[in-house]
Chain A
Amino acid sequence: MSVNYFPAEFEVLRNTDKCIKCRACERQCANEVHFYDADFDKMLTHDDQCVDCQRCVTICPTGALKIHKNPNEFRQNYNYTQQIMTENYRQAGTGAVLLSSMGNPLPYPVYWDKILINASQVTNPSIDPLREPMETKVFLGKKPNKMSFNEDGSVNTKLDPHLELSVPIMFSAMSYGSISKNAHESLARAATELGTYYNTGEGGLHKDFYQYGPNTIVQVASGRFGVFKDYLETGAAIEIKMGQGAKPGIGGHLPGAKIREDVSKTRMIPMGTDAISPAPHHDIYSIEDLRQLIYSLKEATEYKKPIIVKIAAVHNVAAIASGIARSGADIIAIDGFRGGTGAAPTRIRDNVGIPIELALASVDQRLRDEGIRNNVSVVVAGSIRSASDAVKAIALGADAIYIATPALLAMGCHLCRSCHGGKCNWGIATQRPDLVKRLNPDVAYKRLVNLVHAWDHEIKEMMGGMGINSIEALRGNRLMLRGIGLTDRELKILGIAHAGE
């Protein structure tokens, strides 16, 4: 056996007093960490295969298991951390690019945690959401700058197509292929019940899910997988994916092994072939080219659907968004650098792009300065972790938010960041039938509905506290925010005052 140069990242701790050797952990672990040794009548482990997904810990009937970080330590070094050393060993052993998944886990500043929300006291009293109506309904799309009316009071202005959301929260793009069919079904059913939208991602739409079309956003990416007339017509809106927060500037690659029968049908590519999305759309090199794709989609769907353009938050995001707002797009979705993914090169996930908080603030400001804010709605994604993050995002200027990681958490994900391995023990990021069936859509969809209802309730409570009774009045209301522990420069970009000011 060749030397591995680095120890297992996690260690499985089994309390032998509690363990009844039922071998449930062995059956449940797709990484084959647990095994039973008959000679010693003992449960043993391959610690090096553990990804800390917590499936066995949760499933163990006697609570005998704990997974912890392997306490073994390389010599302390703040520069060459154990993580960096290990990654170099991995690459020296394989000559390969490091592949990771889910969002950027590094300790970059989280601006949401440095922003505080206002509340009313004495003057401008707060509103009790239990007693008074609170409006969290949102319309996404172009807003006319002027309205005109007929004599009888009816609207005379031609309105552009809109999405109507009962809550300012949508489920962001996750393709069938990167996540399982049961996960997709759960999202589709939850979106329908909630009166919001889920997003197909770039993998096409399974025929079983056409029925959820009115609550579906269909995506068109550089690979054009599963894109054809019925698909475009089925969705309530079409999203052009230009970029993704977890991997700005690069394409996607779903390995042939994950293209099983159903995924192949949905993507409309043969089984077992790699699904490669080129890094750029090779027909888009300018805002004019983007406009062309937008209008070709509008023409193909007879101007009935709003077109969303999704970009990653990168350095000059404000200028790019300004171009998009003039390109004919109805909605801009911006995905921050902490956004999740089913697979991304580690170096890109961890080092490319900018935080969504700063991107959002500068985009909203730029569009206002240029007088084109009403041309588009702005949806933000890329680590909106809670209702308070959502409130802060809306106050910074977002019309609505996209969530993905919280939705996965609702379905059981434990953020083990191993989605790219395709062996998700929670039945989410996998196509293995035995694993997929662990995710029960009847249960998971309900949990998604619960999560969003709970957030909605919290959003209303925070709005009420501020004396605000509609999302409309909260949007871009930066006076409701204060920074804490931020530099003047950061406050300037965020467009907010410091706490105490």
Chain B
Amino acid sequence: MKINADGLHFQVLNEKVRSCPDEEIVLDNVLGQRYIGAGLCDKKVTINGVPGNALGAYLNNSRLEVFANAQDATGDTMNAGEIIIHGNCGDALGYGMRNGKIFVEGYAGYRAGIHMKQYQELKPVLVIGGVVGDFLGEYQAGGQIIVLGIGAEDKIPVGSFCGTGMHGGAIYLRTEHCPTDLPAQVCAADATPEDIEEIRADVTEFAKEFGYNAEELLSSHFYKLTPNTANPYRQLYVNN
């Protein structure tokens, strides 16, 4: 089913999406409507135009594909499904995400992947084709963040304060340039062939979505950032 979003208030548009019986929905002329796909289950939504903030918040096993840029808070507390963005993405991408995948073709703003977490078979994946702003993976508790830095091979692909408070999961950076300001709780190491195997499927999927050569991307040098196993918080408190 096709829905013309032109001039529709977000409440009206989202109600149309929710009540649409079809599994596949195309939204045309989207312009800034927020909360598209919030908590949506078992649908495939194609979004033509720029969706507003909080796209796919609490997303529950749906696929949202955006043929434009996306704005802030995309995939907040996402629980399952896929968000594919053929463009760039604003701030706070994938906040508190627990499962599912987000692929951004271009760059992402500040505070991407904050407090991503994983649990049993639930493991969120965030792949960013370009570079990303400050505070990537702050408080990360699980899951996998992959920054490919395509077109920015000569510089550090992440901003400042990457991985502050990180206590789980991993961040992979496709670069020769390791961030210089990593906190003491984060270790950076050259990715091993086993590590590359860990990300192969996701990078391959990303390459397929956006027409890249996965092998070429995977043959580059990656840094892997993980939390320092010596828990940095344990010694902080004394009972009073």
Contact = CB atoms under 8 A, between A and B. Distances in A.
Nearest to A301: B39
B156 to A, nearest CB: 21
Contacts of B39: 229, 232, 299-301
A241 to B, nearest CB: 13
A420 interface: yes
A443 to B, nearest CB: 29
A99 B240 contact: yes
Interface string B126-150: 0000000001001101100000000
Given A97-B236, A300-B57, A421-B239, A295 B115 contact: no
Nearest to B36: A299
A283 B115 CA distance: 11
A268 B98 contact: yes
B34 interface: yes
A229 B58 contact: yes
Given A223-B115, A228-B77, A276-B165, A98 B58 contact: no
A253 B234 CA distance: 10
Interface in A243-289: 253, 255-256, 264, 268-270, 273-274, 276, 278, 282-283
A302 B18 contact: yes
B240 A274 contact: no
Contact of A282 (B57, B95, B122, B237): B95
Q: Which of A223, A232, A296 has the largest number of chain B CB atoms within 10 A?
A: A296
Q: Which of B34, B53, B118, B119 has the largest number of chain A CB atoms within 10 A?
A: B119
A250 B118 CA distance: 24
A14 interface: no
B167 A227 contact: no
Interface string A305-349: 000000000000000000000000000000000000000011000
B38 interface: yes
A3 to B, nearest CB: 17
* Chain B interface size range: 35 or more
Nearest to A264: B119
Contact of A296 (B54, B118, B122): B54
Given A97-B238, A228-B60, A278 B165 contact: yes
A346 B240 contact: yes
A270 B167 CA distance: 12
B39 to A, nearest CB: 3
A276 B141 contact: yes
Contacts of B14: 299
Contacts of A200: none
Contacts of A229: 39, 41, 58, 60, 79
A172 interface: no
A268 B119 CA distance: 6
A296 B58 contact: yes
A303 B53 CA distance: 18
A253 B168 CA distance: 15
A32 to B, nearest CB: 15
Contact of A418 (B34, B135, B239): B239
A99 to B, nearest CB: 4
Interface stretch (A88-96, A396-404, A445-453, A474-482): A88-96
Nearest to B17: A299
B180 interface: no
Contacts of A87: 240
Nearest to A349: B240
Contact of B98 (A228, A253, A296, A421): A228
A270 B238 contact: no
A489 B110 CA distance: 45
Nearest to A223: B115
Q: Which of A99, A100, A295 has the largest number of chain B CB atoms within 10 A?
A: A295
B94 to A, nearest CB: 10
B231 interface: yes
B239 A99 contact: yes
Interface in A67-100: 87, 90-91, 93-100
Interface in B52-78: 53-54, 57-58, 60, 72-73, 76-77
A224 interface: yes
Nearest to B120: A270
Contacts of A222: 115
Q: Which of B10, B54, B58 has the largest number of chain A CB atoms within 10 A?
A: B58
Contacts of A93: 238
Interface string A290-304: 001101100111110
Contacts of A255: 233-234
B103 interface: no
A232 B165 CA distance: 27
Contacts of A420: 237, 239
Given A229-B60, A270-B118, A278-B138, A299 B38 contact: yes
Contacts of B237: 96-99, 345, 420
B209 to A, nearest CB: 25
Q: Which of A222, A256, A264, A273 has the largest number of chain B CB atoms within 10 A?
A: A273
B231 A274 contact: yes
Contacts of A299: 10-11, 14, 35, 38-39, 57
Contact of B57 (A296, A345, A421): A296
Contacts of A96: 235-238
A350 B60 CA distance: 42
A220 B76 CA distance: 12
Contacts of A295: 34-35, 54
Nearest to B97: A224
B174 interface: no
B238 A99 contact: yes
28 contacts: A95-B235, A98-B237, A98-B240, A222-B115, A223-B115, A224-B95, A229-B39, A229-B41, A229-B79, A253-B233, A268-B117, A268-B119, A268-B122, A269-B119, A269-B142, A276-B141, A276-B165, A276-B167, A276-B233, A278-B138, A278-B139, A282-B138, A292-B53, A296-B38, A296-B54, A300-B57, A345-B237, A346-B240
Interface of A: 87, 90-91, 93-100, 220, 222-224, 227-229, 232, 253, 255-256, 264, 268-270, 273-274, 276, 278, 282-283, 292-293, 295-296, 299-303, 345-346, 418, 420-421
Interface of B: 10-11, 14, 18, 34-35, 38-39, 41, 53-54, 57-58, 60, 72-73, 76-77, 79, 91-92, 95-96, 98, 111, 114-115, 117-120, 122, 135, 138-139, 141-142, 165, 167-168, 231, 233-240
Given A264-B119, A283-B73, 18 more contacts: A98-B238, A223-B115, A229-B60, A232-B39, A255-B234, A269-B119, A274-B231, A282-B95, A282-B111, A282-B115, A282-B135, A295-B54, A296-B35, A296-B54, A296-B58, A296-B73, A299-B35, A420-B239
